[in-house]
Amino acid sequence: MASSTASGTYDIGIDLGTANTLVYARGKGVVLNEPSVVAVNATGDVVAVGLDAKRTLGRTPSGITTMRPLRDGVIADFDAAEQMLRALMRKALPARRFAKPRVVVCVPSGVTGVERYAVVESVKGAGAREVHLVEEPMAAAIGAGLPVEEPYGCMVVDIGGGTTEVAVLSMGGIVTAQSVRTGGDALDAAVLAHVKKKHSLLIGEASAEDIKKAVGSAAWTPVAADEDGAPERPTTYTVRGRDNVSGLPRIQELAEDEVREALAEPVEIIVGAVRRVLDECPPELAGDIYERGIHLTGGGALLRGLDLRLRQETGVPVTVAEEPLDCVVRGAARCVEEFETLHALMTGAAAPVRRPARL
């Protein structure tokens, strides 16, 4: 990888995700990968960020609250988001710096102009010389190794914590896109609600996420181990929680089938977004996509059977990108390393969203 140059000293790329924030430093690689969480005290001061803050989630003493400033794919809390960015950037950058960094930040394609401005200001406030924004689907596609600048249509579906972004890209631009506020968090919430309703058991968000990862599935029917190449896994999960009636701690065994059924509704929303974008896609590009397939990125791409389900519902081949959780930061990394050549794919600090007219 290129070593730091005078103009590129400590330039960094940030994947500001709703669940995880990753920072790439030029010539160094990914130097930070932490949950997008902050803990604030009663007076609103941030007392912990990232991993330190996530550890306290759900077990904070009174007066301290933990929150996810980007929870729903938009910046829900400007102040907290800014403080989190500053703290994480401080952590990622060396203490002794000679030049201010140029920073490339990936933001969800649905964020408003005001939110863009807030991100730019926060990053500048944290010590950036210049700030350039890249829309997440673009970064995800670059990170997944797709030929975004060529005159071929390609489709990425980035399933993060708060949102699912579906986009068709061609010639360095987003041709058509959809962002729905249903992602990994909604899947967790569906598991949590199911366990409460069916088993009268209250469980934490972290447990719900664990259940989803361990036995969750997006397929219509159980996926046989040899069907998608994924390793064998247990078919039940034992969760600990608090009985809703007696208030006492209790364990409960959950079957794979009931978890799959619990996830059906949010999965349907994700599938629907993909279908809509395919429907809106200009015919030539649709042809390219039928040939080259849909590429899944983001942590939600790891949900068992999602590739299979999308293939069945659309008839289009589906590929889960390698290391889907890192796709966006890998795209940001390329934007940092090849800034001059990829500059056209980024938007300036104050510039409006660059969205080419439909073909």
**Residue ranges that bind ligand ADP, judged by CB under 6 A:** 17-20, 160-162, 184-185, 209, 212-213, 298-300, 302-303, 325
Question: x/- site string to Mg ion, residues 317 to 336, per CB under 5 A?
Answer: -----------x--------
Least distance in angstroms from the C-beta of 19 to Mg ion? 7
Least distance in angstroms from the C-beta of 327 to ligand ADP? 8
Least distance in angstroms from the C-beta of 184 to Mg ion? 10
Q: Judged by CB, which is closer to ligand ADP: 185, or 288?
A: 185
Three-state DSSP string of the chain:
CCCCCCCCCCCEEEEECCCEEEEEECCCEEEEEEECCEEECCCCCEEEEHHHHHHCCCCCCCCCEEECCCCCCCCCCHHHHHHHHHHHHHHHCCCCCCCCCEEEEEECCCCCHHHHHHHHHHHHHCCCCEEEEEEHHHHHHHHCCCCCCCCCCEEEEEECCCCEEEEEEECCEEEEEEEECCCHHHHHHHHHHHHHHHHCEECCHHHHHHHHHHHCCCCCCCCCHHHHCCCCCCCEEEEEEEECCCCCEEEEEEEHHHHHHHHHHHHHHHHHHHHHHHHHCCHHHHHHHHHHCEEEECHHHHCCCHHHHHHHHHCCCEEECCCHHHHHHHHHHHHHHCHHHHHHHCECCCCCCCCCCCC
Task: Name residue, tokens 């890192």.
Answer: 326
Least distance in angstroms from the C-beta of 279 to Mg ion? 24
Least distance in angstroms from the C-beta of 18 to ligand ADP? 4
Q: Judged by CB, which is closer to ligand ADP: 69, or 300?
A: 300
Which one, of 306, 304, 297, lies nearest residue 325 by Cα?
297
Q: Judged by CB, which is closer to Mg ion: 184, or 241?
A: 184
Q: Judged by CB, which is closer to ligand ADP: 185, or 307?
A: 185
Q: Which residues inside 235-294 make contact with Mg ion, applying CB under 5 A?
A: none
Q: Judged by CB, which is closer to ligand ADP: 47, or 214?
A: 214
In this chain, which residue has its C-beta nearest to ligand ADP? Answer: 184
Q: Judged by CB, which is closer to Mg ion: 17, or 173?
A: 17
**Residue 209 binds which entry of Mg ion, ligand ADP, none, CB below 5-8 Å type-dependent:** ligand ADP
Least distance in angstroms from the C-beta of 93 to ligand ADP? 21
Q: Judged by CB, which is closer to Mg ion: 191, or 328?
A: 328
**Residue 19 binds which entry of Mg ion, ligand ADP, none, CB below 5-8 Å type-dependent:** ligand ADP
**Are 175 and 198 in contact, with CB atoms under 8 Å apart?**
no
Q: Determine, following the binding rule CB under 5 A, whether residue 17 of this chain makes contact with Mg ion.
A: yes
Q: Judged by CB, which is closer to ligand ADP: 271, or 286?
A: 271
Least distance in angstroms from the C-beta of 211 to Mg ion? 22
Task: By CB under 5 A, name the one of 101, 160, 216, 324 that touches Mg ion.
Answer: 160
**Are 187 and 303 in contact, with CB atoms under 8 Å apart?**
yes
Task: Name residue, tokens 């102040």.
Answer: 79
Least distance in angstroms from the C-beta of 161 to ligand ADP? 4
State the residues that interact with Mg ion by CB under 5 A: 17, 160, 328
